[in-house]
Amino acid sequence: MQNIIECLNTHRYSALVTDCDMVARVEFGCEGAEATLGNPNLLAVIAETNGGYRCYGYELNDVLGPLGDLGFRSIEYDPHTRRATWALQRENTRGNTILARDLQLVQNRVEAAPAVMTLAGQI
């Protein structure tokens, strides 16, 4: 059995999804994950930013600050037009915040991805 760090170190990945319980506990999440989050193959992180981190005594900057220090910036993504743009606001406090290092690489991956049919239609 591998722990998450061993798994991430032995497999190629380009995106990472975290929830507030992991990220909000900074000592467990971001502070212990410099190798994973600093990996240049990691193009994007989706962080839960709905306020759940407050129950652990943290603020939003405790969650997004370490990611910003590693070069991640918030982006906005429209699945219907498949366009990614730099976000005007740093965070989305109603749900998830998508952060990326290189917007053009993310956009290239999105454009190359096959369309998917959802209840809302094809995206």
Distance separating alpha carbons of residues 115 and 1, to the nearest angstrom: 34
67 close to 42: Cβ distance less than 8 angstroms? no
Residue 19 has a pLDDT of: 60
Tens-place pLDDT, residues 63-96 = 788 888 889 999 999 988 999 999 987 666 677 8
CA nearest neighbour of 99 among 107, 90, 88, 108 = 90
Distance separating alpha carbons of residues 82 and 50, to the nearest angstrom: 24
72 close to 101: Cβ distance less than 8 angstroms? yes
Please state the pTM of the whole predicted model.
0.75
Tens-place pLDDT, residues 37-64 = 888 888 888 887 877 778 878 888 887 8
CA nearest neighbour of 63 among 19, 8, 3 = 19
Q: How many other β-carbons are positioned within 10 Å of the β-carbon of residue 81?
A: 8
